Amino acid sequence: MLTDTQGSDVDRADCTLVIPAYNEEKRIRSLLEDLSGFRGDLIFVCDGTDATPAVIGAFAAAHPSLSIRCLTFPVRLGKGGGVVAGIREASTRYVGYMDADGSTSLSEMERLFDCLVDADGAIGSRWLPGSVMTVRQGLRRRAESRLFNLVVRLLFGLGYRDTQCGAKVFRREALDRVLPSIRSTGFEFDVELLWRLAQSDCRVEEVPITWENRDESKVGTSDAQEMLSGMIRLRFG
């Protein structure tokens, strides 16, 4: 673990949330409203073709007391590429990221940030005892998740139950240690990030989380195949 944090909780004003938002114009306003009580910085990363940046810009203009930035890119960055782009723009001591579908509430993200008092990172888990899924995933999705996590354990030796939950927070100094080594830009980014942190002796806590599962995953069959091949290249390439 890196240097200790002084105090009993994490100052929200010293936190940044990064939200990759690829073609999210239909639901991004709902997320913005959900996050309107956040006292830290919000960085949205838009690399799609719809009006998501315009929706975010209008909301930011109507709420000048909030710290909202929208980064736009003319080409697709991928999930990992978007997260890294947002992290690089963050200036706070604590940085996290979450999915744009709002499956994780602000209160849950803030609970993860408070874990950074004595950990280098904290990740939400849908599969630990104590987790709550308000809408149960289908049998196929659950089986795929279990199989994926087994592959992650075999390839990388990571003992986490849920590497792909879209709710993660870290100390800035831990991220600075590993970001220069990150090669992944797709959905396999989460696995590589946790692997690099483990190699750097950073302590990342897995925490049961309440997950609302508001929408179906955007990870299709081709994305899953690319994620698997990306992990194999990462581990043996």
Domain boundaries, the chain: 12-236
CB under 8 Å to 36, separation ≥6 — which residues? 63, 66
Which pLDDT tens digit goes with each residue over 127-145? Answer: 999 999 988 777 888 788 8
Percent of the chain with pLDDT over 70: 94
Q: Residues 54-82: what's their mean pLDDT?
A: 98
Please report the pLDDT score of residue 194 as a whole number.
98
Averaged pLDDT of the chain: 93
Give yes or no for residue 27 having a pLDDT over 90. yes
**CATH number of this structure's domain 12-236:** 3.90.550.10
C-alpha 144/C-alpha 123 separation (Å) is 20
The pair of three-digit structure tokens given for residue 17, joined into one six-digit string: 């949330």
Give yes or no for residue 219 having a pLDDT over 70. no
0.85 cut: is pTM over it? yes
Please report the pLDDT score of residue 217 as a whole number.
55
C-alpha 179/C-alpha 87 separation (Å) is 9
C-alpha 104/C-alpha 214 separation (Å) is 9
Specify the pairing of strand 94-98 against strand 67-72: unpaired
Q: Give the three-class secondary structure for 15.
A: strand
Which pLDDT tens digit goes with each residue over 9-24? Answer: 999 999 999 999 999 9
Which pLDDT tens digit goes with each residue over 79-113? Answer: 999 999 999 999 999 999 999 999 999 999 999 99
